[in-house]
Amino acid sequence: MWNFPLLPEQASAYAAKVDPLFYALAVFVLTFTMGVTTVFIVLGVRYRKRRGVHRKSVHVENMLIELVWSAIPVVIAIAIFAWGAVLYYDHGKAPGDTIDINVIGKQWMWKIQHPNGLREVNELHVPKGRPVKLIMTSQDVIHSFYVPAFRKKQDVLPARYTSLWFEATKVGEYPLFCAEYCGTEHSLMGGTVYVMEPSDYEEWLGGGPALTPAAEGEAIFQKMGCATCHDAGDSSRGPSLNGLYGKDVKLRGGGTIPANDEYLRRSIMEPTADVVVGYTPLMPAFKTQFNEDDILSLLAYIKSLGGGTQE
Ligand code: HEC
Ligand SMILES: [Cu+2]
């Protein structure tokens, strides 16, 4: 088994930012706990019943003390909140130029696909010093992708897409875990993250014949007959998918919905859930025919048809 030290290595830019907050909180909590406990014990001994200390009509009222011991904790609490909020924002907001890697959690393994199509299982190779974004979903139950050395963890949910970004700072091998109990072999659901020099990563990436996810998606699109209804032409029975991604889609019965990953997935798996205005819902449901891999490929293909512009 892995040697799992109490304090995992710091291998990401984020780790170096989170740890000071962790230590500050630990020192803060310990200081207060020890202070309060000490006073508690001292007073308890000093004023115990046998001492027979005079306790009648003790009356202390001091506005200054009241104000000070209310104000100080408020200031400290706000400071901790602000510190945490800044880091949380950093955790949530990926920079624009990430390497996007698909991750599928599945009882009990992590399936990974790189932008050039290369796949791996329970192993994730990433370059040092480049921001990487994982786009994650689950084939079955809730999992959670956790790399302690990066101080990064994110739940992975069925029928939803969550993301997790990081920038590795240190070449090495780091354990990867599933951090959400997901069944009998949950404890074995994990693997290794390999952080490589960018040149080694490039070389490693080149080491496999692979179709890009968009090319795989296009193949599925042709094979499954999607193209018969979603032809670019106007006579098609279904709407054109060109430029769909990221657009607002008008739905039958009123309302609009942004064409994001979750909407596209639902449109394919359960077409009647949201019907596009002006179309008859004659698209067959593909729920039983696709796994999450296929869906991610189809999404990559649809995104490759452009987005943000009109049809
Ligand atoms: C029998 C014709 C038909 C086939 C086959 C078909 N679709 Fe559709 N599709 C439609 C129609 C009609 C709509 C619009 C009505 C609706 O939303 O259900 C639609 C809607 C969609 C949408 C939402 C489009 C939008 O503008 O919001 C997506 C995405 C989609 N289809 C993908 C696919 C994929 C991927 C396949 C193949 C796996 C496929 N479709 C196969 C007819 C079809
Ligand atoms: Cu799991």
The full set of domain ranges for the chain reads 7-36+66-210, 213-304
Give CA–CA dist 233/241, Å, rounded: 11
Residue with CA nearest ligand 1 atom 22: 267
Give CA–CA dist 107/89, Å, rounded: 31
Whether ligand 1 lies within 6 angstroms of the CB of 78 is answered as: no
Residue with CA nearest ligand 1 atom 39: 226
Question: Which pLDDT score is estimated for 101?
Answer: 94
Q: Is domain 7-36+66-210 given the CATH code 1.10.10.10 in the classification? A: no
Ligand that lies nearest to the alpha carbon of residue 224, given by its number in the listed order: 1
CATH architecture of 213-304: Orthogonal Bundle (1.10)
**Residue to probe by mutation, ligand 1, list 267, 286, 290, 304, most atoms within 8 Å of CB:** 267
Question: Which pLDDT score is estimated for 310?
Answer: 31
Residue with CA nearest ligand 1 atom 29: 264
Tokens, residue 10: 């710091």
Tokens, residue 103: 């991750």
Question: Which pLDDT score is estimated for 285?
Answer: 84
Residues by chain with Cβ below 5 Å of ion ligand 2: 143, 178, 182, 189
Torsion of CA 67, 70, 72, 75, to 10 degrees: -120
Residue with CA nearest ligand 1 atom 5: 226
Give CA–CA dist 98/130, Å, rounded: 7
Question: Which pLDDT score is estimated for 309?
Answer: 34
Q: Which residues contact 193 (CB under 8 A, 6 or more apart)?
A: 123, 124, 125, 126, 147, 149, 150, 168, 173, 174, 175, 176
Question: Which pLDDT score is estimated for 41?
Answer: 96
Question: Which pLDDT score is estimated for 311?
Answer: 29
CA distances from 187 to 108, 133, 157, 174 (A): 9, 25, 18, 17
Which residues in the chain land under pLDDT 50? Answer: 308-311
